[in-house]
Amino acid sequence: MLFRQAGILHTNYAQDRALFPIPADRWMIGGLLLLAATAPLYLNSLYLSSYLLPWLVWTAAALGLNLILGWAGQFHLGYAAVMGIGAYAAVHAQRAGVPWEIAIVLAGLTAAVIGSVFAFAALRVKGLYLALSTLALQFVMDWTISHVPAISGGTQATLQAPDIRLLGQAVTSDAGLYYVALVWCVLVTTFMLNLRRTALGRALVAVREKDYAAAVIGVNSFYFKLVAFATSSFIAGVSGAVLIGTFYHAVTPEQFSVDVSIQALAMVIVGGLGSIIGSYFGAGFILLMPGAMNSFISWLTGLFGFSLGIETLAHLPHALYGALIIGFLLLEPLGLGKIYGNVRDYLLVWPFGYVKK
Amino acid sequence: MRLRSILGGVALMLTSSMAAHAADPVKFALCYDLSKAYTFVTPQVAQAAKDYADLLNAKGGLEGHPIEVIVQDHGNEPQRGIECYERLKRDGVMVFDMLSTPVSRAVLPRVMKDGNILMQSLAGRGDAVDGEVFKWVFPIGPTYWGQAANDVGYIKQQSGGSLKGKRVAFVYVDYPFGQEPIGILKTLAEKEGFDLQLFPYPLPGNDQAATWTQVRRFNPDWIISWSLSNMHVIASREMKRNGIPIEKYIGVNWLNEVDIKNIGPDAAKGLKRGTNVAGGSTQPLVQEIIKELYDKGKGNGDRKNLEDVYYNTGLAIWSIGFEGARQAIKKDGWPLTPQKLKDGLESIKNFDANGLMAPVTVTAADHGGGGKTRIEMWDGTKWVPQTDWIASFPEEVWKVVKEQSAAYAKDQK
């Protein structure tokens, strides 16, 4: 009914390889893009600047991590550090007078270079050992930032980021910053969608499934792992720079600490490994749910007239949030993206459910 | 007759709406980390703020306006702190406190842009005491530089006015909080001619064994320690192990009764700490709160928190915040604006909340209120003040402040 497949006939390869062969998907994507593009018209500035904007930037970042984790199957526990490299690189470049458009590319390149230099060492090991050596990257970065005043900006460890300027135009309004984040997120999403149908994407999947087997069929697994690290680091670096430029306006080490790495990892795992829509869900869930839970519980207590201690009020949302993560992963271990996939699969043949069986 | 009653009704409605208008609350936002890293202090501070607000409200509020204290958890995550700020600023809150260094840092650019009041006592950038640069930030209380200078001032007093040849060990947790006083200590060591050595230990501070054996070899006359809560407990254990008398230990203000209990009240005898508030529930203001609220079962939390020095820290922070708002309403009238609140806070003179804390005088240039602290010693049962409220080496401290704030000011151009 909704996702009608009847009458879709591919008469050439381009059609057959289209990103969204089913019209319903195209309509939905179009509708969502339209909603996103017009968001400043109907959303108030609070939702735009404090919820939607960070969500988009974090989604882009989560997609970058998903590339390494979900596609190439390599653990990365130091992802926030790579974002931090990009953020610091961009802010330093900007302060040295480099235009923002070039600064973010520099941010991506710096992150990619440092990320893959590190990968050279880290990729000699696999699995949990790799996870630990990426964690080392995180700690090396933390240490470097807090012990090199030239990077961190002195004892206060805060570097103010200049306003971002696009083509000489200062972008300071909530809507303007939102569009910057939106464009970056859409770019990364498009890249990831297309990655699926390239030789690189297939090679990464082969490496993920079994690097030894991949080597047997002629895929140089070390090379592709390195490419994956570099690409994902590039996305991380630019995302970090965009996060600072559009949201934080100042860069400090805590914004890219080990906790943040774990959060990014949680985004990808809760969202679903290798799932693009899952990265959206995961980022939204991990980023916005604690705050939303907080408001929800405050609202509930207000509604029923409980009076809870401030500490209970602070811890209860965390408990519920944790329970929700466990609940969702029990329900569907492949993540929120897979839950969406299940619903879609059901609707694909609805109301003729027996077709599937 | 009928007309009269209608008129009377209208008049009644008008006066009642005016009364409602006069009772508009003054809102204060406490965006605190109640669930992660700062939980050793935030519950007590929030409880103190609520208690003191209740006490003042019972007396008629701030010039007739009740105080509304809004507490929200941000879990020490910058983006949630920003969300708290952005949301509450739209609800008409003009005074914010984050009580977390990372979150204060993250919110500061927005506060400076929007022109709202950020109270950031004991957290965030220390150079924000420079009110000429940080117009909207009020880190009332001592900076860590000021505190360190005051500790040195105390040591100087104890050594009979000269520090020549004294050995001072600075033991600190190796991240920005602990590193902050290094600059000022080095400057003072050069000026006063004492021998300073630095002893960092890594986060999370559970293992300080290697550090303290080095301290033992240095054999210091005094130890200044920049540690947080339980790190002091670990330090005391290592000092015992290395045979360093605890009398030499001067802790930063983050050392409370819970830590003393963990060290052991007897073992902690002679331990010293710098502080800008008088600890304990014997303070007149705390006594008043006990009488008016806790004895009537109307307290905002656990009664045993009243013994905690962080409760008094909270009272100190928020008595200043509320006093500033009161001054603002008194001087410039309702409705409040951030500018009026700023003027109100800057007109606080010699305010010590009934002996609770070091007298605070805030000016447009000095948003720290003077930065006075004193050294207290634990005598086995209570804290005994060892000095008056002092602010030592103000020139050196302000030199550091000005250097840092000038760098910030330069960035803004």
Domains of chain B: 23-142+281-364 (3.40.50.2300), 145-275+374-395 (3.40.50.2300)
Sign of CA dihedral A189, A191, A192, A197: positive
For residues B98 and B81, the answer to whether their CB atoms sit within 8 Å is: yes
A313–chain B Cβ distance below 8 A for any pair: yes
- Read off the tokens for A76: 């990365």
Average pLDDT over residues B219-234: 92
A-interface mutation test, from B36, B47, B83, most A Cβ less than 10 A away: B83
Residue B184: which of B224, B124, B134 has the closest Cα? B224
Tokens 């005088």 belong to residue: B361
Residues of B in Cβ contact (< 8 Å) with A49: 86
What pLDDT score does B14 carry? 45
Cβ–Cβ contacts within 10 Å for residue A97, how many?
Answer: 8
A248 to chain B nearest CA, in Å? 6
For residue B18, the model assigns a pLDDT of 45
CA A85 vs CA A132, A292, B91, B151, B203: distances in Å:
19, 30, 36, 38, 22
- Per-residue pLDDT at B15 exceeds 50: no
Contact B242, B216 (CB under 8 A): yes
Buried b (16+ CB within 10 A) or exposed e, A5-33: eeeeeeeeeeeeeeeeebebeeeeeeeee
Mean pLDDT of B32-48: 90
Chain A to chain B Cβ contacts (< 8 Å)? 97
| Chain A touched by B200 (CB under 8 Å) | no
From the list A54, A160, A314, which residue is nearest B408 (CB)?
A160
Q: For residue A311, which residues of chain B lie inside 8 Å, CB to CB?
A: 34, 39, 43
Q: CB-based contact (8 Å) between A291 and chain B?
A: yes
Chain A contact present for B86, CB below 8 A: yes
Determine whether the interchain pair B404/A156 forms a contact, defined as Cβ–Cβ distance below 8 Å: yes
How many other C-beta atoms can be found within 10 angstroms of the C-beta atom of residue A354?
Answer: 7
The interface predicted TM-score of the complex, written ipTM, equals: 0.87
Q: Which residues contact B55 (CB under 8 A, 6 or more apart)?
A: B288, B289, B292, B293
Distance from CA of A196 to the nearest CA of B (A): 32
A156 interfacial to chain B (CB closer than 8 Å):
yes
Whether residue B392 contacts residue B150, with contact meaning beta carbons closer than 8 Å, is answered with yes
Residue of B nearest to A95 (CA): B411
Tell me which chain B residues have a C-beta less than 8 angstroms from the C-beta of A253.
176
Nearest Cβ partner of B82 from A50, A154, A294?
A: A50
CB-closest option in B35, B108, B127 to A314 = B35
The predicted-structure confidence for B74-132, as pLDDT tens digits, reads as follows 988 888 999 999 999 999 999 999 998 889 989 999 999 999 999 988 888 888 999 99
Q: Do A158 and B105 touch (CB under 8 A)?
A: yes
Each residue's pLDDT expressed in tens, for chain A with a length of 357 residues? 677 777 888 888 888 888 888 888 999 999 999 999 999 999 988 899 989 999 999 999 999 999 999 999 998 999 999 999 999 999 999 999 999 999 999 999 999 999 999 888 888 888 889 989 999 999 999 889 888 888 887 666 788 888 888 888 888 899 999 999 999 999 999 999 999 889 999 999 999 999 889 999 999 989 999 999 999 999 999 999 999 999 999 898 889 989 899 999 999 999 999 999 999 999 999 998 888 888 888 888 888 877 777 788 888 888 888 898 899 889 999 999 999 999 988 888 878 777 765
Contacts of A154 in chain B (CB under 8 A): 404, 407
Whether residues A46 and B86 touch (CB distance < 8 A) is answered with yes
Euclidean distance between CA atoms B387 and A321, whole angstroms: 49
Reduced to 3 states (helix: H, G, I; strand: E, B; else coil), residue A316 is helix
Using a CB-CB cut-off of 8 Å, the residues of chain B touching A254 are: 78, 101-102, 105
Q: Which amino acid is at B334?
A: W
What residues in B contact A95, CB-CB < 8 Å?
Answer: 411
Judged by CB atoms within 8 Å, which residues 157-186 of A form the interface with B? 157-158, 160, 162
Domains of chain A: 42-355 (1.10.3470)
Residue B46 forms contact with A (CB below 8 Å): yes
Q: Mind telling me how many Å the CA of B184 is from chain A's nearest CA?
A: 12
Q: What is the Cα–Cα distance from B37 to B197, expressed in whole angstroms?
A: 29
Mutate to test the interface with B, among A310, A316, A321 (most CBs of B within 10 A): A310
Look-up: residue for tokens 């003179």?
A: B349
Nearest chain A residue to B40 by CA: give it.
A311
Are A160 and B412 within 8 A, CB to CB?
Answer: yes
